[in-house]
A and B are shown apart, each in its own frame.
Chain A
Amino acid sequence: MKPCKQYEELIPLYLVDGLDTAGMLQVKKHIGDCEACRQYQLALSEIAMNIRADEISVPENYGAELVVKLNRRLEKRHTRQKRFLWAIPAFSSVAAMIVITLINIIQPNPNNDQWLKQFHQEHSYVSLSDVGYFGEFVVDDNGNSDDDLITSTDEMSESVAYEIISESSIPEIDRYLMATSNLDDSEFQSLISQMQKDIL
């Protein structure tokens, strides 16, 4: 037996007290008069009652086991978070270095070039590795470094010697010893001759 169509929706709501007072009275009266709707209401009531019938039993000690499991999971999570926090500065530094390197490779800073040019203008470095000696020469204020560059080893040794000798802050005897330490006999003789000429 099918319930009346208009009451099929209302009867379930009547069962849960989900209608206003007038609606509740209307359905109650109809159920008293209509056998099909009364059967429908009883079937729904029985379904609702049967759902309540059985209980679920929670396993013994489940609460304590659950707490242990959850705490283990949270501890793992906490350890992961700690590691992650430690990793942030390391990753950031590496990333920053990579980014800076890439920027310099892709787009060299023009200021860096400028600084280098200026440095080269003020200082000229000449290698004397063949005689085991390195010397640094400061170019004069006019910046004519190219003209003054020393190209031969002999010229270099001689210039170094003169530079040392003319350095007044070093005691005279030391100046001569330092200036002549790299010269062989003939070079030494030549230097003395030159100095005598200059003095005379």
Chain B
Amino acid sequence: MLKPEQVRQNNEEKFNRMVLENHQKIYSMFRRMVPSHDEADDLTQETFIKVYKNLSKFRNESSAYTWIYRIAVNTGLNYLRRQKIRQTVGLEKINVPAENNHSHSGEFQNVYLENAIKKLPSKQQMVIILRSYQGLTFREIGKIMDSTENAAKVNYAHALKNLKRIFDDMGVSYETV
């Protein structure tokens, strides 16, 4: 029988290994949602603190990667909801580029994309980040978000449709000939 101090030491070793193995995916996911490194760092730390607190509940039934992602996604969704509330009550505004030259490529287009993604509902935003930026499969997204593969696909499809509508409202055309 391990003493509490030994359990703690084992947990810390296990935890440090988890951080080193997963921090890149988690950080880059948050970096898509927030404008600065510091905010992404805060959310990454918040996620791993939650991971540590719940370490005893992790039963190896799912992979550590999926489990950590799930915690990160919930942390991210809470953050997006808070942001949406702040935007709704006028505390923060999404910066939309003043220039509008109907560009199809380059950095300008990315800025439009990022701003358009930020206007999506939280779940759709999260699915876009997980699928397009993190490269997860819909099956993995379904597991991480506690839903099904099909629900992830539907969310992603709605997100694409809404992005197209946002671009149309901005006057940006993605139609090709």
A residues touching B (Cβ–Cβ < 8 Å)? 1, 8-9, 12-13, 15-18, 39-40, 42-44, 46-48, 50-54, 56, 58-59, 62-64, 66-67, 69-71, 73-74, 78
CB-based contact B132/A52 at 8 Å: yes
CB-based contact B133/A46 at 8 Å: no
Query: 1/0 per residue B4-48: CB within 8 Å of A?
Result: 000010001001100110011001100110000100010011001
Query: Which residues of B in the span 128-148 have a Cβ within 8 Å of any Cβ on A?
Result: 128, 132-133, 138
- Chain A residues with CB below 8 A from B113, complex form: 47, 50-51
**Whole-angstrom distance between the Cβ of B53 and the nearest chain A Cβ:** 9
- Per CB-CB distance, the 7 closest pairs between chain A and chain B, nearest first, are A12-B157, A18-B153, A51-B132, A56-B28, A43-B174, A16-B153, A13-B157
CB-based contact B176/A43 at 8 Å: yes
Verify if B77 is at the interface (C-beta below 8 Å from A): no
**Whole-angstrom distance between the Cβ of B32 and the nearest chain A Cβ:** 7
Known: A52-B132, A53-B110. A15 touches B160 (CB 8 A): yes
- Chain B residues with CB below 8 A from A56, complex form: 27-28, 31-32, 133
- Chain A residues with CB below 8 A from B31, complex form: 56
Tell me the bound Cα distance from A66 to B17 in angstroms.
12
Query: 1/0 per residue B104-135: CB within 8 Å of A?
Result: 00000110010001000000000010001100
- Chain B residues with CB below 8 A from A8, complex form: 161
Tell me the bound Cα distance from A8 to B167 in angstroms.
16
Question: Which secondary structure characterizes the binding site on chain B?
Answer: helix
**Whole-angstrom distance between the Cβ of A23 and the nearest chain B Cβ:** 12
CB-based contact A12/B161 at 8 Å: yes
Known: A51-B113, A71-B12. A43 touches B157 (CB 8 A): no
Tell me the bound Cα distance from A62 to B23 in angstroms.
8
CB-based contact A16/B175 at 8 Å: no
**Whole-angstrom distance between the Cβ of B67 and the nearest chain A Cβ:** 17
